[in-house]
Chains A and B, each alone.
Chain A
């Protein structure tokens, strides 16, 4: 596992979309900010099997962490993400938005660990995992795990796995859109909070183009 230190007051913004599995622990010093966007987008002709491990440790107070992850898988693609966010010091915040869209026989797995240490007061930690299954044969496993030892914190998590909303699709068809077009609009809307938060405009456009080529 690679360890990367983020120095006091530093701000790091990473957009990861290559095909190398991540196996990193980010250690954040006081008042540092880490933003990570992770994209795992299926490619033609090369099914992938990736396990990403992303650990974050707040070693100082007042750290901020944002994790955005989007998995767009089909065929026999398999991907797993394991995040572990350790709030060892107080006054920190963390927010995770993790989304899987699975078609065909793709399999996805999310294991989201979050711990807030006993003296890490005033921490705000959120974790959201939402998944869409586009076929009956796609499989999603999700396991949120929160361990909270401090009293004065705000922590929330939510996980849901579902299908595209039929009533929305019918509404769109009633407004002249084909099911495919409706599906595309709904998928884009589903991904928006991960894609739109990429600050680098050029990268964002590249990602949107790559996604549009698939959906």
Chain B
């Protein structure tokens, strides 16, 4: 038995209805090395879950496995998204189903402009949902509206994806793309790393504005600082490939004060 289900859900009556993501006994390896050793986690619509833990605990592996990164192999366990078997889907289908990853290290893609990239991305998702493609005017209006959310410069459109962006710009660009794609489950992998306080505020504001009753977020972070801005409903500690402790947002403060070593005692 793992201890993470001790916290009672806030809306017990609607538990089954609102379950967005269910991870059961998830094991995963990379290069033959087992990183995830039995992760269980249930996420309901409207919730923000923080995942904290020491380096090498498997936090980024969890995000890679959920999004279908082919470098990782799932050896055991199940993941269900809105009742659909996530692990059977190729990465792009998971994205089209509404799983979004804000990368810890966003990839630079020289020669591919943001406007082209986003046009294909948005229209692929719409096609998957059976919606018609956006017209050029509608699309540019959407770009403008979502850029404002993270206070991004107008010249973004013709720049290559992440190429030459500062650390802060890259993270803003991730949240901008999240706004464009309106995911049901956002995984923010160390979105606070490399951000100064102003960029952190802008990025967090963007994330908070995108929060609805229908979507949920997993916030992966080392530091409590981010959780002052993006307030979690639950805090989980991932250590050595398992969730070893679950609590409310106060747990993050306790971890900040006592360090992860405290959990071993």
**Contacts of B153-194 to chain A: CB distance below 8 A:** 160-161, 177, 181
Instruction: Report the Cα distance A162→B101, complex, angstroms.
Output: 27
Chain B residues with CB below 8 A from A166, complex form = 70-71
Q: Return A118 CB to nearest CB of chain B, in Å.
A: 38
Partner of A168, one of B67, B107, B121, B181: B107
Instruction: Indicate if A16 sits at the interface (CB-CB under 8 A).
Output: no
* A-B Cβ contacts below 8 A, count: 73
Contact residues of A: prevailing secondary structure:
helix
Instruction: Indicate if A205 sits at the interface (CB-CB under 8 A).
Output: no
Instruction: Indicate if A174 sits at the interface (CB-CB under 8 A).
Output: yes
Instruction: Report the Cα distance A190→B122, complex, angstroms.
Output: 23
Instruction: Indicate if B32 sits at the interface (CB-CB under 8 A).
Output: no
> CB distance A181 to B124 under 8 Å?
yes
Please judge, given known A-B contacts A181-B120, A185-B116, A185-B120, whether A173 and B109 are in contact too, CB under 8 Å: no
| Chain A contact residue count (CB 8 A cutoff) | 21
Q: Return A97 CB to nearest CB of chain B, in Å.
A: 13
Please judge, given known A-B contacts A181-B120, A181-B124, whether A174 and B101 are in contact too, CB under 8 Å: yes
Chain B residues with CB below 8 A from A165, complex form = 107
Instruction: Report the Cα distance A46→B212, complex, angstroms.
Output: 57
Please judge, given known A-B contacts A170-B69, A185-B112, whether A176 and B124 are in contact too, CB under 8 Å: yes
> CB distance B112 to A175 under 8 Å?
no
**Contacts of B16-62 to chain A: CB distance below 8 A:** none
> CB distance B95 to A176 under 8 Å?
yes
> CB distance A171 to B109 under 8 Å?
yes
Chain A residues with CB below 8 A from B122, complex form = 176
Instruction: Report the Cα distance A177→B181, complex, angstroms.
Output: 12
> CB distance A174 to B67 under 8 Å?
yes
> CB distance A175 to B111 under 8 Å?
no
Instruction: Report the Cα distance A165→B101, complex, angstroms.
Output: 19
Q: Which of A175, A176, A189 has the most CB of B within 10 A?
A: A176
Instruction: Indicate if B96 sits at the interface (CB-CB under 8 A).
Output: yes
Instruction: Indicate if B15 sits at the interface (CB-CB under 8 A).
Output: no
Instruction: Report the Cα distance A177→B125, complex, angstroms.
Output: 9
Instruction: Report the Cα distance A175→B91, complex, angstroms.
Output: 9
Q: Which of A165, A170, A189 has the most CB of B within 10 A?
A: A170
Give me the 8 closest cross-chain CB pairs, A-B, nearest first. A189-B111, A173-B91, A171-B107, A176-B124, A175-B121, A173-B92, A176-B95, A176-B125
Taking A173-B91, A176-B92 as known contacts, 12 extra A-B pairs with beta carbons closer than 8 A to each other, sorted by chain A number, are A171-B107, A173-B68, A174-B100, A174-B101, A175-B177, A176-B95, A177-B92, A185-B109, A185-B112, A188-B112, A189-B109, A190-B111
A-B contact pairs, 19 of them (CB 8 A): A166-B70, A168-B109, A170-B91, A171-B109, A173-B68, A173-B91, A173-B95, A176-B95, A176-B128, A178-B124, A181-B120, A185-B109, A186-B111, A186-B112, A188-B112, A189-B110, A189-B111, A189-B112, A192-B111
Interface residues of A (CB under 8 A from B): 165-168, 170-179, 181, 185-186, 188-190, 192
